[in-house]
Structure 1
Amino acid sequence: MKPASRTRLHAAQGWVMTLMLSLAVMIAPQEARAHFSYSDPRIIHVTEGADGGVEIFMRMPAPLALLPEDWKGSAETRLPPFAVSTGNGPVLDVSALGQTNPELAAVLERSLSVETDGETLQPVLRDFRVWHDSDRPRFGTVKTAIAALQSSLAPKPVPYFDATLDIRLALPGIDLNRDIHLTSRLGENFQVIEKFGTVVKFHRSEGTETKAMIGVLDVSFPPVTTRLQTLRDAALSGAEHIYRGLDHLALILLIALAAAGWRQALGWASAFTIGHIITLAAGLYGFAPSASWFVPVVELGIALSIVIAGVVVFAKPGKAFGFVGLLIVGLIHGYGFAASAATAQFAGGFDPLVLLAFAIGLELCQFAIYALILPVILIADRLVPAAFFSWRRAAALCIALSAVSTTFVRLTATSAAFTAV
C-alpha cells in the first residue's frame, strides 16, 4: 500500500473510532450527582394575577430548589437542608415546611429572578406544596397548577430525593405587556443540570407562548409574540430534541450505517419521524396509560430498540431496516417524549400547527445530521478495504453493546416501578 493511501486509511479509521467512542460515552449511564431526576422537566407558568400584577407558578424537583450550591451529590455526607434522617435515607421535615418559615420562604423566593425593562425584580412567595413524585397532580395548565396548590391534603413526610415542589410567586405592580427576562441559578453547579429541561409557558391575552430549554434557566419574552415566532420556537424545540436526545442520535447513526445511500437513509428517517409524531400526539390527547409504570416501560423499550437495531445492522448489513420496522420504533420513542417535556410544552390550548412545526424542526435536524455523517461514512467505505467483518458492522455492534448498559439501568427502574404499584 502506498504511503498516501495508508495515511488516508488511518485517517478514516480515526474518524470511525471517534464516532464509535463518542457515541459509547454518550449512551453509557451518567451519574446524577445532584440526586434528582432530569427526566421530568421544570414547568413554569407566567400569567396575569387575579388582582393585577403577575403570578408565576413553578413545579420542579424539591432538591433543585433546596440543596445548597456546594452540594456534592453522591459523595455528600451532610444532611440536606429542611430534612430529617431516617433509616431509609433523608425525608423532608414536615415541621420545617410551614408557610410561615422565613428561612424556607427566602430560599424559595431566590429560586427565580425576573428582569423587566432593565429593572431586576424579586418575586414574593405566596404559596407552596410538596408532593411525592408518584402522587403529584397535573400541572400542565394554569388551572391545574392553581388546583394543585389549593389541594387540602395535609403535608406528609416525603423521601427527600423523591419530592416535587410546587410554588406560587407574585410580582405586584407590573403587567405582561413588556419585555420579561426569567433567570435562575438553581443547579448551575450540578452535573445533572446539563440534561435537565425547563418548559416556560407565558400566558398573555393574545395567546400562550411556550419555550423549552435544557440547562440553567435563561429565557426572554418580548412584548409581543407573533404567530410566526411561536411556530419558529416550536421548530427549534423539535431540532433541539434530536441533537440532545442521545437515544435518537444513536438510532440516526445506525440508520446511516445500514443505508446504501442518501435516499434510503432519509426514507428510513422519515418513517421514524412519522411514528414519533403519531405517539407524541396520542400522548398529548391522553391516549396513553397514566400509571406510574408506563414511563419506565417506554424508556426501557427505547433502550432495547437501540440494542436490537444495532444487532440487526450487524447481522444484516444493507438489509437491516424497513419502513414499517422504523415506524414502530418511532412509535416507542414518541411515547417517551410525550411522557416528559412534551406534555408540559403542548398542554393547555394544544395547537396542531405547533406540533407540525415541532415535527418539521425534528425532521430538518435529522437531515442536517445525515448531511454531516453520511459523507464521512461514504469516504470511509472507499478508504477501508472491504472485508467479511466490515467496519460498519463493527460500529453497529459497538453501539448495541454501549446501549446494553443503559438497558440494564432502565430494567432496574422498571422493576422498581412495578414493585411500587
Structure 2
Amino acid sequence: MLLPLRAEAHFSYSDPRIVHIAENEAGQIAILIRMPAPLALLPADWQGVEETRTPPFGTYAADDILLDPKTLRDEEQALHLRLSEGLTIWIDGSQQSFTIGRTRLWPDADRPTFGTVKSASKTLDKQASQAPLPYFDATLDVEFLLPQGSLDAPIRITSDLGATFQVMDKFGTVVKLHRDTGTETRATIGILDARFDGLVSPFQRFVTIAWIGAEHIYLGFDHLAMILLIAIAAKSWRQALLWASAFTVGHVLTLAAGLYGYAPHAAWFIPSVELLIVLSIVAAGAAIALKLPHVMNWPTLFIIGLIHGYGFAAAASVALFAGEVDALALLAFALGLELCQLAVYVALLPIIYVLDQTLKSNDLRWRMPVALVLAAAAGVSVIQQLMQVTGFSVV
C-alpha cells in the first residue's frame, strides 16, 4: 500500500552539510556551517515518522509544522546551547573554546549560495526572511568563532548531531579548510569527524584531490555499473576502449562545464541528473539483455557520459570547488576519475576474455543475466528516488 510519507521524518540528505574553516578579518578562526535546520534543532531521541511531539522551536499550522525565526531569536540562549552540544574542535591537539556569532534561517528553495568563504560570510550578513518556514524544509547557517589558534596546525572538528537519526547513514558533510597555501577538503558520511594535518605541499594537495576523484568512481554504484556494462557489451578490447573514450569525453566536458557554472542552478536539476543516471543504467542493461546492438554505440555513450559528468560536477562543486574553480584542482579531480576508470577496465577486460574462452559462448549469453542484475538494481534506485521526490512510501 502506498502511504504519504510525513515530512517530519527527519530531513532530506540530498544536500550535504557544508563547513568552512577560515580566518576572518578580525584575525579569529571562523567556522561557518550550513546544515538542515532539523539536524541542528531536533532532539537526539526524535523518532522520525513515528514521533508525536512538537519539535523544538516549532509550531503547528494547518497540516504543517512551522519554524518561526522570531521564536529562535526569543529563545536565543536555548538555540545556542543546542548548537554547541556535541561540537568539538581541536587545534594542535588542544580542545578549543568557541562562541556563536551570526545565525540565519532560510527556506531550502530560496537560500543564498554558501559555496565559498566569501559567499558564506555574505550570506550570514544578509537579512533573512522573517516569515515562518516549513520546519523540515529549512536551512540553518551558523558562525562559530574561536579566539585563538592557527590554521597551519593540525585541526580536527567533530559533531554528534543526528547520530541516532535514520538518514545519517546517507547524509554527507563537506569540510573545507582555507589556508594561505590553498583549500583542503574532507568529505564524510554520517556524523561529522574531519581531520586535517598540518600544512601540506602542493603535490600532496594534488594527490589528495585526485584520490577524491577516484573515490567517486569506486564508491559509486552508478559509475561502476556503467563501466561494467560498457565492458560486457563490447565485442573486442578495441571497441570497449572506443566506447570508454566516448563516455570519458562526455563526462569530462560536462564536469568542466558544471564546475565553471554552465549548468542550471535550480533545485530540480541535480535530482533530475541523478535520476537520469540510474535510468541510463537501466536502459543500457536492458539493451544488452535484449540484444539491441544499435543502442550501445559511440554517440549513445557520449550522451550518457554527458549526463554522468554533471553528476560528477555536482559532487565536485560541493566537495572541492563550490563556486571558485581552481584549474589545478579540476585537473587533479579529472585525472583521479580517469585513472580509476582505466584501472577498472584493466581489471575487467581480462576476466571477460577468460569467461568468453572458458564458456565458449558465441552469443555471449552469460552477459545477459549480469546486465539484467545491474538494470534491476538501478531500477530499484529509480523507484526509491521517485518515492523520495513524490513523498510516498511503500508499506
The whole-number CA distance in structure 2 between the counterparts of 1:374 and 1:392 is: 13
Does the aligned pair in 1 maintain the 2:285–2:375 contact within 8 Å? yes
The aligned amino acid for 2:49 is: S
The whole-number CA distance in structure 1 between the counterparts of 2:26 and 2:369 is: 64
Once the 2 structures are TM-superposed, how far is the Cα of residue 388 of structure 1 from its aligned partner?
6.3
Once the 2 structures are TM-superposed, how far is the Cα of residue 148 of structure 1 from its aligned partner?
1.0
Match of 2:224 in 1: 249
Does the residue aligned with 1:225 lie in a helix, a strand or coil?
coil
Does the residue aligned with 1:137 lie in a helix, a strand or coil?
coil
The whole-number CA distance in structure 1 between the counterparts of 2:53 and 2:346 is: 49
The whole-number CA distance in structure 2 between the counterparts of 1:187 and 1:261 is: 50
Match of 1:224 in 2: 199
1:368 corresponds to 2:338: no
Q: Deviations over 1:114-146 (max 9, x none)?
A: 111221124321111111110101011111111
**How has the CA–CA distance of structure 1 residues 147 and 34 changed in structure 2, closer, same or farther, with 3 Å as cutoff?**
same
Once the 2 structures are TM-superposed, how far is the Cα of residue 380 of structure 1 from its aligned partner?
4.4
The aligned amino acid for 1:365 is: C
TM-score (norm 1): 0.82
Once the 2 structures are TM-superposed, how far is the Cα of residue 346 of structure 1 from its aligned partner?
0.8
1:87 corresponds to 2:76: no
152, 157, 161: which is aligned to 2:136?
161
**How has the CA–CA distance of structure 1 residues 88 and 247 changed in structure 2, closer, same or farther, with 3 Å as cutoff?**
farther
The whole-number CA distance in structure 1 between the counterparts of 2:305 and 2:195 is: 33
Match of 1:142 in 2: 117
Once the 2 structures are TM-superposed, how far is the Cα of residue 375 of structure 1 from its aligned partner?
5.0
**How has the CA–CA distance of structure 1 residues 157 and 377 changed in structure 2, closer, same or farther, with 3 Å as cutoff?**
farther
Once the 2 structures are TM-superposed, how far is the Cα of residue 387 of structure 1 from its aligned partner?
8.2
1:305 corresponds to 2:277: no
Does the residue aligned with 2:46 lie in a helix, a strand or coil?
coil
The whole-number CA distance in structure 1 between the counterparts of 2:24 and 2:146 is: 9
Q: Whose strand proportion is higher, 1 or 2? A: 2
1:359 corresponds to 2:334: yes
Q: Deviations over 1:264-320 (max 9, x none)?
A: 434433432332221121112111122333223322322221121111112237775
Within-5 A mapping of 1:146-295 = 146-295=121-270
Does the residue aligned with 1:90 lie in a helix, a strand or coil?
strand
Percent identical across equivalent pairs?
Answer: 51
**How has the CA–CA distance of structure 1 residues 280 and 388 changed in structure 2, closer, same or farther, with 3 Å as cutoff?**
closer
The whole-number CA distance in structure 2 between the counterparts of 1:360 and 1:192 is: 32
Structure 1 gaps of 5+ residues are 1-31, 417-421
Does the aligned pair in 1 maintain the 2:259–2:316 contact within 8 Å? no
The aligned amino acid for 2:151 is: L
TM-score (norm 2): 0.87
Match of 1:14 in 2: none
**How has the CA–CA distance of structure 1 residues 76 and 377 changed in structure 2, closer, same or farther, with 3 Å as cutoff?**
farther
Match of 2:106 in 1: 131
1:121 corresponds to 2:96: yes
Q: How many correspondences in the alignment?
A: 386
State the superposition RMSD in angstroms.
Answer: 2.9
Runs of 4 or more above 6 Å deviation: 412-416
Match of 2:83 in 1: 108
The whole-number CA distance in structure 2 between the counterparts of 1:187 and 1:376 is: 43
Does the aligned pair in 2 maintain the 1:197–1:341 contact within 8 Å? no
The whole-number CA distance in structure 1 between the counterparts of 2:164 and 2:249 is: 38
Match of 1:325 in 2: 300
Does the aligned pair in 2 maintain the 1:39–1:340 contact within 8 Å? no
Does the residue aligned with 1:283 lie in a helix, a strand or coil?
helix
Deviation larger for 149-158 or 255-264: 255-264
Match of 1:345 in 2: 320
The aligned amino acid for 2:231 is: A
Does the aligned pair in 2 maintain the 1:259–1:318 contact within 8 Å? no
Match of 1:419 in 2: none
Once the 2 structures are TM-superposed, how far is the Cα of residue 217 of structure 1 from its aligned partner?
2.3
**How has the CA–CA distance of structure 1 residues 316 and 140 changed in structure 2, closer, same or farther, with 3 Å as cutoff?**
same
Does the residue aligned with 1:134 lie in a helix, a strand or coil?
helix
Deviation larger for 291-300 or 378-387: 378-387
362, 366, 369: which is aligned to 1:394?
369
Q: Deviations over 1:372-411 (max 9, x none)?
A: 5545544544555748682311221232233234334545
**How has the CA–CA distance of structure 1 residues 324 and 388 changed in structure 2, closer, same or farther, with 3 Å as cutoff?**
closer
